Amino acid sequence: MSDPQVSPIRVAAIGMDQRQRNALVMLFGNHCRNRYILVEEDSSEICIIDLDLFGGERLWQEFRQRHPDRPLILASLKPRQVENGHTLFVKKPIPVIQLMSAIDQLSQILNNRAAEQKIEAAQNAETTPSEPQHPRHSVSPVTQKVASLMTEAQEKVFIGTSPDIDPDNQAQLAKIYYDPQHYLQGHVQQALNQATRYNKNVTIEGPWPAIDMIIAKQQIMVDAREKHLRPFCTVPDATREVELQFHEQHKSATGRREYSIYAFIWQLALWASRGRLPSGTNLTQPIYLRRWPNFSRLVVTPHALAIAALWTRQPRSLIDTAKSLGIPQRYVFAFYSAANAVQLAGETRRAVDTLLEPPAIKQAENRGLFSKLLSRLRG
Amino acid sequence: MSDYKIIFSGPVGAGKTTAIQSISDILPVTTDEQASDMTRKMKNGTTVAMDYGLIKLPGTERIHLYGTPGQERFDFMWEILTNGGIGLVLLINNQRPDPFGDLHFFLNAFQAFIKQGKVVIGVTQMDQADTPRIEDYHLQLENSGVKIPVFDIDARIKKDVSILLEALLYSLDPGLEE
Ligand SMILES: Nc1nc2c(ncn2[C@@H]2O[C@H](COP(=O)(O)OP(=O)(O)O)[C@@H](O)[C@H]2O)c(=O)[nH]1
Ligand SMILES: [Mg+2]
């Protein structure tokens, strides 16, 4: 994380006096090894406002008028309900670790935005007006985008760039897990379980745009574009104040984005995992895939088809899968996290599956031809 | 020059003609009964319409795309047509009265492909009829012995047809490199 190559995150302290600023300069320089740097507002990426300063509230409002989208940290002695996608609250006195983690969370949002802009630019560039328009596709961004190869920018958002790890190295192991319960993914999964049990629809409420789950149609409806939802999906504990409201009815669909529940959770899991695994996943236990995912309506991660083809033949461990296919582990982890979130993949419990070593992949007679056809289909 | 073929089959209105059109490098030969090119006169006087398309690969290799005629004309032509195919793309029209009946009819007709895992299934018209669901199809396939890819596709959309074919290729050889 504190890679000296990476340029420091530029933070501005709005309205603070020289003493407070000096404290921050020292903190950023010594304690945080120059991961952050204190700058003036104009050149900042992230700002901090102390609400307890004289005129603090007004400072905040004026700041928001100047920069509606700039990530902001608000600090106060009194706990406050001010959080939204790009505003975080920290209670004073601010523990250093909390301030760092708040800055990091917000900086993640900035990374995501940058990646997203690249995606949009790429998508705009490749729009082909001659393609037949499918009515459902025009309202449903997930179905529209799916079945396409990820661009580099998408890959960064969905999978990250973590290097392979050695499963015997505890320090490396510690980095590959995430806890879905700490992300919106976990809340949506829980909501689905309960809504299914009660056979009721549910609205998942919180600081994010409301998410409606319609059980009978196995559908999700959201009031916002993906980019407004994503910050809540990628940041752990952005979802502390979740509330589930169960009901029989649901709001009508006009103007809302609809997804299949399955595709929605798949995407949330990719966002949250970023190439990591649900905590506790065993790296050497064989993994089964109950059936092929409906790839035409899902975000297809790199090598997902190969992994699916392998696992539907025979369970195989995560480590062995990466090795057999000769691909980075993060692709296997990302696919597993998504497939596991929709309950398609899991660790085998059967002794017989661990008894036999999975066979090496047999090369098809026509591999050369198949490869050519594959690149033609993707080109 | 090497020639290979991929077969598109399924009931009427499943999108065979359209799917071949979506990915063919040549203007596919139209297959309506009226069109004469690929329409073959059978001995008994019935006409058998079929679709034909082509994917040209770098070098001399070609992939021929054949669409089978309707199941009401299921006969020995099919065997000739499908013999030696790389794989089968089975399209099922979700709007027909009995899509599972169609599914089993075609699985039975193409047993050889199924047993070797040389098949993918695309369920079309799901925008018109959202049930049965993809999961329901998987349940129907539980006894087939292989896990077959089943995707919700729209035959008019090239990406949808492409991903189905990609899944076919990976089913045949998971070690294919991207
Ligand atoms: N709404 C909708 N129409 C489709 C879909 N797939 C194909 N079609 C249309 O369905 C009609 C029948 O397709 P066609 O290719 O002639 O089917 P075939 O009888 O199997 O050759 C055509 O008008 C297609 O454009 C789909 O998923 N949704
Ligand atoms: Mg036709």
Q: What is the DSSP string of A68-92?
A: TTS-EEEEESS-----BTTEEEEES
How far apart CA A197 and CA A324 sit, in angstroms, is 40
- Indicate left, alpha or beta for A248 from its phi (over 0: left) and psi (-120 to 50: alpha): alpha
Residue B177 lies in a domain: no
Which residues are CB-contacts of A365 (< 8 A; sequence separation ≥ 6)? none
Identify the pLDDT of residue A21: 81
pLDDT over threshold 60, residue B168: yes
B76 pLDDT tier (thresholds 50, 70, 90): low
User: Does the beta carbon of B133 sit less than 6 angstroms from any atom of ligand 1?
Assistant: no
Element spanning A212, H or E: strand A211-214
For residue A85, name the pLDDT band (cuts at 50, 70, 90): confident
Between the alpha carbon of residue A124 and those of residues A60, A118, A127, A299, the distances in Å are 35, 10, 5, 18
A163 with A93, same domain: the answer is no
Radius of gyration of chain A, Cα coordinates, nearest whole angstrom: 23
Q: Do A308 and A292 meet the contact criterion of CB atoms below 8 Å apart? A: yes
Establish whether residue B13 lines the binding site of ligand 1, counting it when its CB lies within 6 angstroms of any ligand atom: yes
Give residues 17 to 36 of B whose Cβ lies within 8 Å of A. 23
What band does B124 get if pLDDT is binned at 50, 70 and 90?
A: very high
Q: In this structure, is the dihedral angle defined by the CA atoms of residues B146, B147, B152 and B153, taken in order, positive or negative?
A: negative
Would you say the CB of residue B156 lies under 6 angstroms from ligand 1? Answer: yes
Do strands B3-9 and A87-91 pair parallel, antiparallel, or not at all (unpaired)? unpaired
pLDDT in tens, A14-54: 988 877 787 788 778 766 777 788 999 999 999 999 888 88
The answer to whether residue A213 sits within a structural domain is yes
- Identify the pLDDT of residue A239: 60
Work out the mean pLDDT of chain B and round it to a whole number. 83
Instruction: Classify residue B13: in a domain, yes or no.
Output: yes
Do A160 and A289 belong to one domain?
Answer: yes
Please tell me which residue, A312 or A233, carries the higher pLDDT value.
A312
Considering every ligand atom, which ligand is closest to the CA of B10?
A: 1
- Return the closest-CA partner of residue B153 out of A207, A143, A296: A296
- pLDDT for residue A6: 64
Confidence of residue A2 (pLDDT cuts 50, 70, 90): very low
Across chain A, mean pLDDT equals 82
Q: What is the mean pLDDT of residues B66-92?
A: 76
Tell me if B74 is assigned to some domain: yes
Asked if B151 lies within 8 A of A296 by C-beta distance, the reply is yes
pLDDT at site A234: 83
Which chain B residues are closer than 8 Å to A218 by Cβ?
A: 133
* Chain B contact for A332 (CB, 8 A cutoff): no
Q: Which of B134, B137, B146 to mutate to test the interface with A (most CBs of A within 10 A)?
A: B134
Q: Tokens in use for A220?
A: 């999700």
Q: What is the complex's ipTM, to 2 decimals?
A: 0.89
pLDDT in tens, A158-201: 888 888 999 888 888 888 999 999 899 999 999 999 999 999 99
Q: Give the end of a domain, one of A270, A293, A309.
A: A270
Higher pLDDT, B47 or B92: B92
Where in the sequence is the domain holding B51, given as residue range(s)? Answer: 3-172
What percent of chain A lies above the pLDDT cut of 90?
42
Give the torsion sign (CA, A302, A305, A306, A312): positive
Q: Please tell me whether residue B31 adopts helix, strand or coil conformation.
A: coil
Could you give the angle at the alpha carbon of B170 between the alpha carbons of B168 and B173, nearest 5°? 115
Mean pLDDT calculated for residue range A300-304: 94
Question: How does residue B29 score in pLDDT terms, banded at 50, 70 and 90?
Answer: low
Residue with token string 């609205």: A203
For residue B55, is pLDDT > 60?
yes
Instruction: Say whether residue A291 is in contact with chain B using an 8 A CB cutoff.
Output: yes
Quick one: pLDDT at residue A143?
34
pLDDT at residue number A127: 43
The yes-or-no verdict on residue B40 having pLDDT over 70 is: no
Burial-class residue A27 by CB neighbours within 10 Å (0-12, 13-18, 19+): middle
> What is residue B46's predicted lDDT score, i.e. its pLDDT?
40
CATH number at residue B78: 3.40.50.300
For residue A300, give both structure tokens: 């297809």
The verdict on A156 and A257 lying in the same domain is no
Confidence band of B44 (pLDDT split at 50, 70, 90): very low
Mean pLDDT to the nearest integer, A276-292? 95
Residues A263 and A312 in one domain: no
Strand partners, A219: A214, A260
Q: How many Cβ atoms are within 10 Å of B157's Cβ, its own excluded?
A: 21
What would the two tokens of residue A341 be?
């979130």
Q: How far apart are CA B62 and CA B85, in angstroms?
A: 13
Residue B86 lies in a domain: yes
- Percent of chain B at pLDDT > 70 equals 80
Structural domains of chain B, count: 1
Mean pLDDT of A222-249: 79
Ligand 1 atom closest to the Cα of residue B124 is 27
Distance B67 CA to ligand 1 centre (A): 13
Angstroms from B57 CA to nearest CA on chain A? 7
How many domains does one find in chain A? 3
Quote the pTM value: 0.73
The answer to whether A61 contacts chain B (CB < 8 Å) is: no
**Residue B73, both tokens:** 């004309």
pLDDT at A105 over 90: no
Residue of B148, B159, B174 lying closest to A306 (CB–CB): B174
Q: Which atom of ligand 1 is nearest to the CA of B8?
A: 20
On the 0-12 / 13-18 / 19+ scale of CB atoms within 10 A, A280 is exposed
**B153 or B68, which is more confident?**
B153
Task: Say yes or no to pLDDT of A249 above 80.
Answer: no
CB-ligand 1 contact for B155 (6 Å cutoff): yes
A145 located within any domain: no
Residue A128, pLDDT score? 40
For residue A133, pLDDT beyond 50:
no
pLDDT-based confidence at residue A240 (cuts at 50, 70, 90): low
Position B28 confidence tier, pLDDT thresholds 50, 70, 90: low
Identify the pLDDT of residue B70. Answer: 66
| DSSP 8-state symbol, A316 | B
- Domain identity same for A47 and A96: yes
Q: In this structure, what is the dihedral angle of CA atoms B99, A192, A286, B148, given to the nearest 10 degrees?
A: 10
B11 in any annotated domain:
yes
Which pairing describes strands A36-38 and A72-76: parallel, antiparallel, or unpaired? unpaired
- Classify strands A257-260 and A219-222 as parallel, antiparallel or unpaired: antiparallel
Which of A221, A244, A270 is the last residue before a domain boundary?
A270
